[in-house]
Amino acid sequence: MKASDVRTMTVDQLTDELGKLKKEQFNLRFQRATGQLENTARVRQIRRDVARIETIMREKRTAESA
Predicted confidence (pLDDT) per residue in 32-65, tens digit? 999 999 999 999 999 999 999 999 999 999 998 8
Q: Domain limits at 8?
A: 3-65
pTM value is: 0.89
- Model pLDDT, residue 64: 87
Nearest Cα to 5, choosing from 52, 44, 41? 52
Distances in Å between the Cα of 25 and the Cα atoms of 4, 10, 46, 60, 64 are: 22, 22, 7, 24, 29
Q: What is the CATH number of the domain that holds 10?
A: 1.10.287.310
Could you give the number of structural domains in the chain?
1
- Model pLDDT, residue 15: 96
Helix axes 41-65, 11-34, angle to 10 degrees: 160
- Model pLDDT, residue 37: 94
- Model pLDDT, residue 41: 96
